[in-house]
Amino acid sequence: MGVRVRQKTKGGPWWIFVTHKGNRTSKQVGDKKAATKLAKEVQSALAAGDLGLLGEPEPTGPTFGDFADEFLERAKPELKHSTVVDYESVLRLRLKPALGDIELADIDRRQVKDLEARLRAEGLSDTNTRKHLRILSSILSEAVEDELIGSNPALGRRKGRNRSRHKSAKAKRRVDPFEAHELSKLLEKCRNHMHRKRSKVVPQFRRYFPFVLTIARAGLRLGEAVALQWGDVDWQDGTILIQRSVTKGVVDVPKGGKSRRVDMSEELKRTLREEYDRQFGRVVEMDAEAEAIRRGETLDALVFPDVAGGMLDESNFRRRIWKPLLAAAELRHRRIHDLRHSYASLLLGDGAELLYVSQQLGHHKASFTLDVYGHLMPRDRRGVANRLDALAPARTPSAPRPAGDSSLEELTHEKTPAVQGL
């Protein structure tokens, strides 16, 4: 037997919830004071065996579907647009059809397991299934915070060592970087490949060479390169500020929610400067004030706009530029994202510091970088231990001894009576 007083939603009316001999019921009362008063009366009536105070039973709480909608509205200000779209899709297609009409308090671990089995039966991958369960768990955890349910039945699903190994192995399988000679061939074709168009022979991909080179030389994600503005490029410092990304046409913060600065190679810096001059007109003689004015006028301009001056369409670029470029370079298909993998693997393979590469990529931890790219790092460690001999030698070259000088070695060989007697 139990009587509780609470709100179903924050800021809403107050309810009393009654559990008695396995049955549950509730009643909306109004403010907290009135609900507390009625709860005491119900408590006394139940003790006396009178069950008529509440009248007809009412639902004990919101359904999963109603609360899920409320959860998403609350979370929208804190989530990236792409995440909101993902949540909406998962709720609309899978979670609400399965659980939408069930009251939150009635969802138990058996129903969560049945949902998991249903998702797998529909052909969802392990990763996608875990994503659905993770979203469900987030919603139910919020319900626990609101005191609508006592515990989260989706918490703790599929955790443990096996999951970590699976995730690590899957991440490694997806990494398919270009070899150094392949990347050189790709970039050369992007810059110089000629294509016959009607009666003319024109460079087919040259316009996109700075874009491809930026991803390859700075390790940017595709959305980060698309959203790049000229104000993000620091010519003096030789860095690029990554502070925005675009996903499905919507500009948001980069993945992980943090901005970062990446170093430009000399080739990349020179190429971007040529692209800047191409877009805004090269001026041979320009004083500092005029250059500052031009710089201020171009801060918000996109570094890599489409032919109409708008934001580059990622799908269109993949279809019309990237795939034909791979074919022209006679390279097997890879994702554009594998340029980022190539950036990391080539640097690490050449002995670059792991922490530096991790920071350039914008990873939250160097351990994540190691987990993804560690199998690509050089495995030949022979001779590494010998470096210690050079850094801190155990012996020093012997110097010429002055006449009459007794060395420590000579002294240790003298056997005095006292020493012999020990």
Check whether residue 199 and residue 327 sit in a common domain.
yes
Instruction: Using the Cα atoms of residue 312, residue 314, residue 320 and residue 324 in order, give the sign of their dihedral.
Output: positive
Query: Comparing C-alpha atoms, which of 194, 198, 262, 254 is closest to residue 233?
Result: 262
Query: Comparing C-alpha atoms, which of 312, 321, 341 is closest to residue 229?
Result: 312
Check whether residue 228 and residue 328 sit in a common domain.
yes
Please give the residue that has the higher pLDDT: either 25 or 104: 104
Check whether residue 253 and residue 149 sit in a common domain.
no
pLDDT tens digits along 207-260: 999 999 999 999 999 999 999 999 999 999 999 999 999 887 788 888 888 899
Say if 369 falls within a structural domain.
no
Check whether residue 153 and residue 217 sit in a common domain.
no
Check whether residue 127 and residue 234 sit in a common domain.
no
Give the list of residues 6+ apart from residue 327 with CB closer than 8 angstroms, or none. none
Check whether residue 35 and residue 98 sit in a common domain.
no
The CATH number of the domain where 113 resides is what?
1.10.150.130
Task: State which of 164-178, 326-340, 365-379 shows the largest mean pLDDT.
Answer: 326-340
Q: What is the pLDDT of residue 164?
A: 46
Say if 363 falls within a structural domain.
no
Q: What is the pLDDT of residue 5?
A: 79
Least confident residue range of 139-153, 207-221, 382-396: 382-396
Check whether residue 329 and residue 184 sit in a common domain.
yes
Check whether residue 209 and residue 133 sit in a common domain.
no
Neighbours of 299 (CB within 10 A): 11
422 pLDDT exceeds 50? no
Check whether residue 134 and residue 231 sit in a common domain.
no
Say if 344 falls within a structural domain.
no
Check whether residue 36 and residue 71 sit in a common domain.
no
Say if 300 falls within a structural domain.
yes
Q: What is the pLDDT of residue 391?
A: 73
Kind of pairing between the strands at 200-203 and 260-263: unpaired
Burial of 384 (C-beta count, 10 Å sphere; 0-12/13-18/19+): exposed
The chain-wide mean pLDDT, for the chain, equals: 81
168 pLDDT exceeds 50? no
Check whether residue 194 and residue 327 sit in a common domain.
yes
Say if 251 falls within a structural domain.
yes
How many domains are there within the chain?
3
Largest CA distance in the chain: 116
Least confident residue range of 41-55, 141-155, 296-310: 41-55
Domain that holds residue 319: 180-333
Q: What φ, ψ does residue 28 adopt, rounded to 5°?
A: -80, 135
Q: Residue 204 CA to chain centroid, in angstroms?
A: 34
Supply the pTM of this predicted model. 0.61
Neighbours of 278 (CB within 10 A): 11
Check whether residue 238 and residue 132 sit in a common domain.
no
182 pLDDT exceeds 90? yes
Query: Are the C-beta atoms of 144 and 151 separated by less than 8 Å?
Result: yes
